[in-house]
């Protein structure tokens, strides 16, 4: 007798859902009988979550980060959805599947959601997805190598950079000028300058220019 | 043979010249000496008058061979003067007319004036030609008045001018134009005083005295005559002047009917016996005057003996004028004592002399007397003649004065004209100066306006330059924005759409592959991995596209680099260009950006024109809030201290100064040139550290 599982897959690409299905419903998967619900936007996803919270909650949610936002604008991403899901379905396992592999994003998601699974789509293979699924269903967390790398980096540095500092570094590395940073990071320009100086001090390169700062950040794995 | 003959002839000729005392005269000096010697001979009273005249003729003929100049004129006058002394008045006149002509041809004003004076002296002799005399004197006066003191030394002609004036004054006196004569005399005195020559002052005062007497200013008259004596003291004419003045004073008193005083002065005069013996004419006049005063004062002791005494002297020297007066006096005397027939005889005698002399004044008196002493018929006839003569005389006098007035008026008119001309000249000069000043002012204003316009033009040009640049930049920024937006869209499309679907496909394939068991799993896995690699590539492309690779403010530096690239391309030069990222070009005002742009252009033009370089390095650095622009070439360089700043370097300097910056031109021969520009950019440091 196969164990019954109820799963909600949230992704705006039907092809991806198809991929998930092909993986989970394949012959390698014999232990569980999986019922899969699909949502391609925030509204549908939220409705399904609410509905399941009132009846049989989902065992697992596959959440994409980039999603068409809800019509009322209150939910703009998978991240928001995951937060709601954690409240409404506290026992549900949440797996984040995303194309984004930037450190600050990873950092942010880990911090805000602390999902059971964190998979970077570009790394993901069918077997890994299956492995992750099996682990998570048994209560073990599973993270992609990229996410684990991030953890390692965080650990090896004596200090950690908060999300905003990481964001600053990230955008700088993309070539954004300091004065344009307020458009990307919700901080005032002077605050950004101050943070930049703090980072330089942490890196013990107080008088360095931006070029050197970025080099050092790369060396240390923050970018 | 021929030569010897020729020489012989010359020698013979020379000898002949010696024999006849007729040396060929060549040099001016020789001629002058000859003229002088002939004149000297002409002066010699021992020679006969004919001889003397002959000498003068010789002097004149030699003088005629001289070159036309002032000296010749002076000599001519000197010769004429001698003729005058020899009473050859026509010759005198002729020579002076020649002198005048000559003076006119060489435009010698002084000689002209002098010649006029001499001609005036000629005409003065004859009473009927007084007007001509006056005219000549006036001509001279006119010239003297108009002489330019800068051209002629005033001392040279003041004396001569004075002489001319006193001549005029005396003619005026004779013409009974007393007030005019007085004024002219005073003018003459002033000239003599200025000339510091008193020679003619006695004459002047004498004239003043005579005029004063006629104006019935008797006290003044006496004073003037005494002054005349005063001025003559110490000169060789002292006695003559004293006698003349005493006689004149006596006449003044006689006119005042102060007969005793008159007598006293006549007696004073007569006391110069020695002198009077040699001057019988004066002696006779004094005696006659004394006798007449005695007669008038009814002092008949020596009357008529004194009259006869005077008449006798006069008769002996043929003094016709004196005799006319003398006989008239006698007639008066005899008429007073009732001897009318004798009186008539004397009166007739006087009349005949006066008629002969054309001495109308005495003639008038003679007729008057005759009309009294003759019987009624002839008396009436005489009275009629008297009235006729008197009328004609008055007429003549009037005519004469009119003539004088006309001459004087003409002179004054000329003087006035001169004044007017000088006034007109003055006005002309002032007008010209005024116009020049006005023109200059206008020109300056025009220039200023022009330069203002130029400035304004330069300003507007700069503004429009900046405007064009701004538009250019905006265009570029817009372009960039558009491109960026498009890139962003493509990035997102790739990332979220293509990549997602690809991922889905791969995952599905993978899933299916796991389940398949047909022995091709491995091969499919390989393609699935390949798909994964493609995904990664797309993701990278998407990332690159999405990244802000070209911030909007790159536009300026883009424009700069394009410019450099274009210019270097045209001139076939390599270039390196670096722009420090710290420079926030978007924050820097357009003025500065334009200036940097132009400095670069200017510098590069210099390099292309002069440096013969192959490579240019251009750097924008940012150190301590200062933008350092360095333009370096590997050309031939120049000596910075030797090269005058061309317009290019000046432009660069002025632009840098505009930005409160510094510029340095470093160069050595054969080591290239470095232009370094430092422009401070106000920092926002304070702003940075507040949160």
What's the angle, vertex CA A116, arms to CA A114 and CA A120, rounded to 5? 90
Evaluate whether B637 touches B665 at the Cβ level (below 8 Å). Answer: no
A85 to chain B, any CB pair closer than 8 A? The answer is: no
A181 secondary structure, DSSP code: G
The answer for residues whose C-beta is within 8 angstroms of residue A59's C-beta and 6 or more apart is A5, A6, A7, A92, A93, A137
Would you put residue B142 in left (φ > 0), alpha (ψ -120 to 50) or beta? alpha
pLDDT at B641: 60
Chain A contact set for B548 (CB, 8 A) = 174-176, 180
Residue B21: the pLDDT is: 47
Residues of A with Cβ-Cβ distance to B530 under 8 angstroms: none
pLDDT of B262 > 70? The answer is yes
**Helix B521-546 vs helix B499-515: crossing angle, to nearest 10:** 170
| B507 with A20: Cβ contact below 8 A | yes
Write the CB contacts of A81 (distance below 8 Å, at least 6 apart in sequence): A10, A42, A45, A46, A49, A63, A67, A75
A164-202 as b/e: b if 16+ CB within 10 A: ebbbbbbbbbbebbbbbbeebbebebbbbbbbbeebbeb
The reply to whether A17 touches chain B by the CB within 8 Å rule is: yes
> A126 and B496: CB-CB below 8 Å?
no
Q: Which of A149-163, A165-179, B28-42, B242-256 has the highest mean pLDDT?
A: B242-256
pLDDT at position B686: 41
Tell which of B477, B481, B487, B510 to mutate to test the A interface (max A CBs under 10 Å): B510
Which residues of B sit within 8 Å Cβ distance of A?
495-497, 499-501, 503-515, 528, 532, 535-536, 539, 547-549, 551, 553, 581-582, 584, 586-587, 687-691
d(CA B507, CA B528) in angstroms, rounded, equals 9
pLDDT tens for each residue of A48-83: 999 999 999 999 999 998 888 888 888 888 999 999
Burial class (CB in 10 A: 0-12, 13-18, 19+), A116: buried
pLDDT single digits (tens) B272-287? 888 888 888 888 888 8
Residue A18 scores a pLDDT above 80: yes
Look at residue B551 in the predicted model and tell me its pLDDT.
47
What secondary structure letter does DSSP report for A77? B
Give long-range contacts, CB 8 A cutoff, 24+ apart: B673-676.
Answer: B673/B606, B673/B607, B673/B611, B673/B632, B673/B633, B673/B635, B673/B637, B673/B638, B674/B630, B674/B631, B674/B632, B675/B599, B675/B603, B675/B629, B675/B630, B675/B631, B675/B632, B676/B628, B676/B629, B676/B630, B676/B631
Query: A104 and A181: one domain?
Result: no
What's the whole-number average pLDDT of chain B?
82
Q: Are residues A27 and A132 in the same domain?
A: yes
Do residue A63 and residue A86 come from a single domain? yes
Q: Say yes or no: A22 contacts chain B, CB-CB below 8 A.
A: yes
Residue B211 has pLDDT above 50, yes or no: yes
- Give me the mean pLDDT over the A12-16 stretch: 87
Q: Is residue A136 part of a domain?
A: yes
Question: For residue B4, what pLDDT band results from cuts at 50, 70 and 90?
Answer: low
CATH of the domain at A31: 3.40.50.2300
Q: What is the DSSP string of A28-53?
A: T--SEEEEEEEESSHHHHHHHHHHHH
CA angle centred on B510, ends B505 and B513, rounded to 5°: 125
SS3 of residue B182 by DSSP: helix
Same-domain pairing of A213 and A145: no
Q: Which chain B positions have a beta carbon within 8 Å of A20's beta carbon?
A: 507
Asked whether the beta carbons of residue B512 and residue A22 sit closer than 8 angstroms, the reply is yes
Q: Does A145 touch chain B (CB under 8 A)?
A: no
Domain match, A62 and A139 both: yes
In a domain, A157, yes or no: no
Task: Tokens for B448, please give them.
Answer: 């200023």
Q: Residue A64 belongs to what H/E stretch?
A: strand A60-64
Out of B495, B507, B548, closest to residue A16 by CB: B507
Residue A54: inside a domain: yes
Question: Are A193 and B501 inside 8 Å of each other by CB?
Answer: no
B368-375 own/partner pairs: CB under 8 Å, 24+ apart: B369/B328, B369/B331, B369/B332, B369/B335, B369/B343, B370/B344, B372/B335, B373/B331, B373/B335, B373/B340, B373/B341, B373/B343, B373/B344, B373/B347, B374/B340, B374/B344
Give the best-scoring range by mean pLDDT among A3-12, B49-58, B231-240, B585-594.
Answer: A3-12
pLDDT of residue A43: 92
Judged by phi (left if over 0) then psi (alpha if -120 to 50, else beta), residue B359 lies in beta
Domains of chain B by range and CATH?
401-546 (no CATH), 554-683 (3.30.565.10)
How much is the pLDDT for B73? Answer: 86
| Phi, psi at A104, each rounded to 5° | -70, -30
Which candidate, A128, A213, A111, A113, places its Cα nearest to that of A171?
A213
Partners of B506 on chain A (C-beta within 8 Å) are 19
- pLDDT tens per residue across span B560-610: 888 888 888 888 888 999 888 778 787 787 778 878 888 888 888 888 888
Q: Quick one: what percent of chain B has pLDDT higher than 70?
A: 91
Contact A174 B499 (CB under 8 A): no
Q: What are phi and psi of A68, to 5 degrees?
A: -60, 130
Residue A170 and residue A126 share a domain: no
**A23 touches B at CB < 8 Å:** yes
Instruction: Using the structure block, give the residue that is written with the tokens 């008259």.
Output: B221
Across chain B, how many H-helices and E-strands are there? 26, 5
Where do the H-state alpha helices sit in B196-319?
201-214, 218-232, 238-255, 259-270, 273-278, 280-296, 305-317
**Cβ-Cβ contacts under 8 Å, A28 against chain B:** 514-515
Residues of A in contact with B536 (CB under 8 A): 122
Q: Which residues contact B546 (CB under 8 A, 6 or more apart)?
A: B487, B488, B491, B492, B495
Mark whether A110 and A167 lie in a shared domain: no
Based on the structure, what is the number of domains in chain A?
2
Taking the Cβ of residue A211 and every Cβ of chain B, the question of whether any pair is shorter than 8 Å is answered with: yes
Chain A from 165 to 184: CB within 8 A of any B CB: 174-177, 179-180
The verdict on A47 and A146 lying in the same domain is: yes
Question: What is the structure's pLDDT at B647?
Answer: 66
| Closest of B67, B94, B78 to residue B40, by C-alpha | B78
Task: Please write the tens of the pLDDT for every residue from B73-114.
Answer: 888 888 888 888 888 888 888 888 888 888 888 888 888 888
User: Is the pLDDT at B6 greater than 70, yes or no?
Assistant: no
Six-digit token string for B581: 């990222």
Q: What is the pLDDT of residues B314-334, one digit of tens each?
A: 888 888 888 888 888 888 888
**Taking CB atoms and an 8 Å limit, are A126 and B513 in contact across chains?**
yes
> What's the DSSP call for residue A57?
P
Query: Does residue A44 lie in a domain region?
Result: yes
Measured between alpha carbons, how far is B225 from B592 in angstroms, rounded to an integer? 102
H/E stretch holding B30 reads: helix B28-43
* A19 lies in the same domain as A121: yes
Q: Single out the residue of B554, B34, B269, B39 nearest to residue A180, CA to CA.
A: B554
From the list A126, A179, A191, the residue facing B514 with the nearest CB is: A126
- Determine whether the interchain pair B501/A99 forms a contact, defined as Cβ–Cβ distance below 8 Å: no
Residue B81's alpha-carbon distances to B60, B86, B89, in angstroms, are 12, 9, 9
What was the pLDDT predicted at B539? 82
Distance from the Cα of A176 to chain B's closest Cα (Å) equals 6
One DSSP character per residue, B360-390 reads HHHHHHHHHHHHHHS-HHHHHHHHHHHHHHH
Closest CB from A11, A17, A210 relative to B581: A210
A125 and A169 fall within a common domain: no
pLDDT digits (tens, 9 = 90+) for A188-208: 888 888 888 878 877 777 777
Of the residues A97, A127, A152, which one is the last residue of a structural domain?
A: A152
Among the candidates A152, A179, A206, a domain finishes at A152
pLDDT for B2: 52
pLDDT of B685 reads 44
Q: Is the pLDDT of residue B549 over 70?
A: no
What confidence score (pLDDT) does residue A42 get?
A: 92
**Residue B568 or B441, more confident:** B441
* A46 pLDDT tier (thresholds 50, 70, 90): very high
Residue of chain B nearest A125, judged by CA positions: B507
Q: Report pLDDT for B643.
A: 58
Residue A158 lies inside a defined structural domain of this protein? no
Give per-residue pLDDT as tens, B139-156: 888 888 887 777 777 777
Q: What is the mean pLDDT of chain A?
A: 84
Residues A137 and A206 in one domain: no
Above 90 in pLDDT, residue B438? yes
Q: Which domain holds residue A64?
A: 3-152
Q: What distance in Å separates residue A51's CA from the closest CA in chain B?
A: 27
Question: Which residue on chain B is closest to A19 by alpha carbon?
Answer: B508
Is residue A17 located within the same domain as residue A58?
A: yes
Q: Who wins on pLDDT, B558 or B489?
A: B489
Q: Average of pLDDT values for B517-540?
A: 84
CB contact under 8 A, A13 and B690: no
Residue B510 has its nearest CB partner, among A23, A180, A191, at: A23
d(Cα B418, Cα B411) in Å, to the nearest integer? 10
Q: State mean pLDDT over B40-55.
A: 82
Residues of chain B positioned with their CB less than 8 A from the CB of A191? 691
- Domain-terminating residue out of A152, A174, A197: A152
Residue B508 to chain A, least CA–CA distance (Å)? 4
- Beta bridge partner(s), residue B578: B619
Between A and B, how many CB-CB pairs are < 8 A? Answer: 121
Q: What is the distance between the terminal CA atoms of chain A, rounded to a whole angstrom?
A: 48
Comparing alpha-carbon positions, the chain A residue that sits nearest to B547 is A174
Predicted pLDDT at B17:
46
* C-alpha distance from residue B388 to each of B364, B381, B384 (Å): 10, 11, 6
Q: Is residue A132 part of a domain?
A: yes
How distant is the Cα of B507 from the closest Cα of chain A, in angstroms? Answer: 4
Per-residue pLDDT band for A29 (boundaries 50, 70, 90) equals low
Q: For A114-161, how does the pLDDT look when each residue is reduced to its tens digit (9 = 90+)?
A: 899 999 988 888 888 888 998 998 889 999 988 888 888 777 765 567
A26 touches chain B (CB under 8 A): yes
């Amino acid at each position: 007798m196969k164990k019954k599982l109820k799963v909600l897959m949230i992704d705006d690409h039907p092809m991806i859902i198809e991929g998930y299905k092909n993986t989970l419903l394949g012959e390698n998967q014999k232990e569980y009988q999986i019922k899969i619900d699909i949502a391609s936007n925030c509204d549908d996803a939220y409705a399904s979550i609410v509905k399941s919270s009132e009846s049989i909650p989902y065992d697992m949610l596959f959440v994409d980060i980039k999603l068409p936002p809800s019509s009322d604008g209150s939910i703009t991403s998978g991240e928001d959805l995951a937060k709601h899901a954690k409240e409404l379905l506290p026992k549900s396992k949440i797996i984040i599947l995303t194309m984004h592999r930037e450190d600050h994003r990873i950092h942010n998601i880990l911090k805000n959601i602390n999902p059971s699974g964190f998979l970077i789509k570009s790394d993901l293979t069918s077997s890994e997805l299956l492995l992750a699924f099996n682990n998570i269903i048994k209560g073990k967390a599973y993270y992609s190598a990229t996410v684990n790398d991030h953890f390692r980096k965080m650990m090896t540095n004596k200090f950690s950079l908060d999300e905003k500092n990481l964001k600053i570094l990230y955008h700088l590395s993309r070539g954004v000028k300091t004065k344009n940073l307020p458009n990307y990071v919700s901080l005032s320009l002077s605050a950004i300058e101050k943070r930049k100086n703090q980072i330089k001090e942490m890196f013990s390169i107080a008088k360095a220019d931006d070029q050197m700062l970025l080099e050092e950040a790369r060396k240390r794995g923050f970018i | 043979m021929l030569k010897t003959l020729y020489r012989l002839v010359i020698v013979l000729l020379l000898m002949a010249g010696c024999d006849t005392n007729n040396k060929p005269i060549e040099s001016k000096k020789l001629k002058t000496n000859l003229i002088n010697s002939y004149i000297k001979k002409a002066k010699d009273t021992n020679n006969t008058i004919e001889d003397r005249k002959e000498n003068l003729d010789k002097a004149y003929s030699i003088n005629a061979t001289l070159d036309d100049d002032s000296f010749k004129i002076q000599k001519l006058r000197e010769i004429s003067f001698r003729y005058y002394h020899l009473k050859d008045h026509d010759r005198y006149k002729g020579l002076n007319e020649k002198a005048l002509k000559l003076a006119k041809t060489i435009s010698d004003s002084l000689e002209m004036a002098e010649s006029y004076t001499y001609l005036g002296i000629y005409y003065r002799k004859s009473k009927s030609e007084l007007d001509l005399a006056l005219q000549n004197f006036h001509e001279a006066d006119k010239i003297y008045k108009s002489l330019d003191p800068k051209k002629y030394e005033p001392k040279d002609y003041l004396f001569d001018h004075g002489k001319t004036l006193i001549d005029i004054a005396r003619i005026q006196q004779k013409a009974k134009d007393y007030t005019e004569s007085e004024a002219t005399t005073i003018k003459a005195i002033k000239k003599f005083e200025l000339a510091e020559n008193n020679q003619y002052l006695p004459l002047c005062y004498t004239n003043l005295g005579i005029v004063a007497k006629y104006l019935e200013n008797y006290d003044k008259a006496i004073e003037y005559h005494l002054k005349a004596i005063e001025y003559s003291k110490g000169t060789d004419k002292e006695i003559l002047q004293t006698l003349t003045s005493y006689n004149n004073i006596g006449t003044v008193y006689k006119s005042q009917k102060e007969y005793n005083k008159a007598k006293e002065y006549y007696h004073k005069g007569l006391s110069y016996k020695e002198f009077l013996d040699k001057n019988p004419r004066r002696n006779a006049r004094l005696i006659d005057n004394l006798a007449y005063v005695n007669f008038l004062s009814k002092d008949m002791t020596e009357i008529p003996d004194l009259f006869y005494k005077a008449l006798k002297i006069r008769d002996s020297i043929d003094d016709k004028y004196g005799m006319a007066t003398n006989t008239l006096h006698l007639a008066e005397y005899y008429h007073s004592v009732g001897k009318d027939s004798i009186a008539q005889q004397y009166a007739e005698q006087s009349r005949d002399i006066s008629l002969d002399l054309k001495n109308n004044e005495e003639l008038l008196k003679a007729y008057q007397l005759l009309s009294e002493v003759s019987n009624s018929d002839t008396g009436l006839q005489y009275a009629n003649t008297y009235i006729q003569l008197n009328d004609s005389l008055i007429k003549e006098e009037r005519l004469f004065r009119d003539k004088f007035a006309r001459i004087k008026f003409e002179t004054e008119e000329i003087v006035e004209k001169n004044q007017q001309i000088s006034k007109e000249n003055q006005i002309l000069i002032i007008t010209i100066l005024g116009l020049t000043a006005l023109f200059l002012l206008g020109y300056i204003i025009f220039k200023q306006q022009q330069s203002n316009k130029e400035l304004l033009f330069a300003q507007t040009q700069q503004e429009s330059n900046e405007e064009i640049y701004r538009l250019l930049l905006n265009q570029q920024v817009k372009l960039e924005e558009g491109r960026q937006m498009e890139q962003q869209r493509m990035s997102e499309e790739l990332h979220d759409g293509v990549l997602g679907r690809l991922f889905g496909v791969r995952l599905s394939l993978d899933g299916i592959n796991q389940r398949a068991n047909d022995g091709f799993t491995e091969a499919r896995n390989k393609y699935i991995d390949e798909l994964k690699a493609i995904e990664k590539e797309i993701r990278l492309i998407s990332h690159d596209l999405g990244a802000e690779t070209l911030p909007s403010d790159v536009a300026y530096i883009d424009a700069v680099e394009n410019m450099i690239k274009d210019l270097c391309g045209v001139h076939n030069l390599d270039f390196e260009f670096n722009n420090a990222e710290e420079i926030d070009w978007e924050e820097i005002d357009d003025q500065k950006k334009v200036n940097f742009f132009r400095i670069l252009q200017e510098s590069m033009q210099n390099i292309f024109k002069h440096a013969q370089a192959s490579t240019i390095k251009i750097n924008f650095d940012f150190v301590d809030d200062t933008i350092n622009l360095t333009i370096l070439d590997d050309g031939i360089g120049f000596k910075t201290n030797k090269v005058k700043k061309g317009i290019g370097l000046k432009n660069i300097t002025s632009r840098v100064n505009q930005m409160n910056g510094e510029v340095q031109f470093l160069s050595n021969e054969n080591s290239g040139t470095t232009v370094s520009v430092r422009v401070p950019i106000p920092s926002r440091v304070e702003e940075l550290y507040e949160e």
